[in-house]
Chains A and B, each alone.
Chain A
Amino acid sequence: MNRAARIAVFAVGALGLAIAFLLAFDALPHFGTESHPYGDRSVRAAVAQKTSNVVTSLAFDQRGFDTVGEEFILVLAVLGGTLLLRAREDEREDDSDDAPRSPEVADAVRLTGYLAMPITLLLGGYLVVHGALSPGGGFQGGVALATAIHLLYVAGDYQALDKLRPVPLFKATEAAGVSAYVAIGLAAIATGSAFLTNVLPLGSYQKLASAGTVPLLNAAVGVAVLSSVVVLLSEFLEQTHVVRAEGDA
């Protein structure tokens, strides 16, 4: 098929898609209306389950099964990255201490990185623990925690980062986080309900011990996401700091 024929086929398909898209857009409610049928029902359900954060209630309670799929997608993505960045036969890893150090960073950057690290760690932990109460949750808190650890690298100290995060440990905690999520879901079956039913006592509204299994699932997702991001970034950082092509000094 020559180029003109290919473009003609594409044009027909694109025109059909454009017409269907515009018709569908026309049938949607206008931007900023008061009509939210799904929103009304989900907020009512979240409050009935004593969960203040409706988004977290949707993610871990009302649609908890979708989050299992999301966790496995994250693990698969990290696995794909690890496979793609593995050392080839003509590369070898060079862990010695006389490997080139990171370039010198400005003092202001170094100070800001060292100061921001404990603050960001605390913020990330807060987001994970209070996922059921205030905006945040396991995913946001997990990524914030991983970012906090890598502020050491931003402050110019790759050696410190490397000593602080043993990658095998984080690979183990990634698996542990995902397994804990599934295990909590299976524990619901043991009490006679369906997979991932919220079977723990619901507690009182807006207290830390509320919403049943949601804080536990939040913690599992937080650990899994933190470990996934750390493992993924460690693969990329190894490419720039450790792996050497054959023939280099």
Chain B
Amino acid sequence: MSLLLDLAFLLVAAAGTSVVLNRDAIGQALALAVFGLTFTVLALVLQAPDVALSMLVVGSAIVPMLVLLAIASGRKQSPEDTP
């Protein structure tokens, strides 16, 4: 059990680091989704299914969608800034 917990913590740390190190806007949104997924796994291992469900629906579905939509509308309004 403790090994699983350590593994879950390490996965969350790695996913969080990948969000920060990702400099591309779309890549960051996808990294956020993966981070939400690893956090869900951590919450499950800590026996908190309600927290896991909340983190899954908000962190892996809604937040990346909002970020991607904001990027798309920003690109639309200033097309000369696109890479």
Contacts and interface: CB of A to CB of B under 8 A. Distances in A.
Interface stretch (B14-22, B26-34, B65-73): B65-73
A55 B61 CA distance: 23
**Majority DSSP secondary structure for residues of B touching A:** helix
Given A53-B50, A136-B53, A143 B66 contact: no
A150 B68 CA distance: 14
Contacts of A150: 65
Interface stretch (A7-15, A165-173, A201-209, A237-245): A237-245
Interface residues of B, number: 17
Contact of B69 (A56, A137, A229, A237): A237
Contacts, number: 46
A144 B57 contact: yes
A60 interface: no
Interface string A132-171: 0001110110011011001000000000000000000000
Contact of B58 (A56, A127, A137, A143): A143
Interface in B47-83: 49-50, 52-54, 57-58, 61-62, 65-66, 69-70, 72-73, 76-77
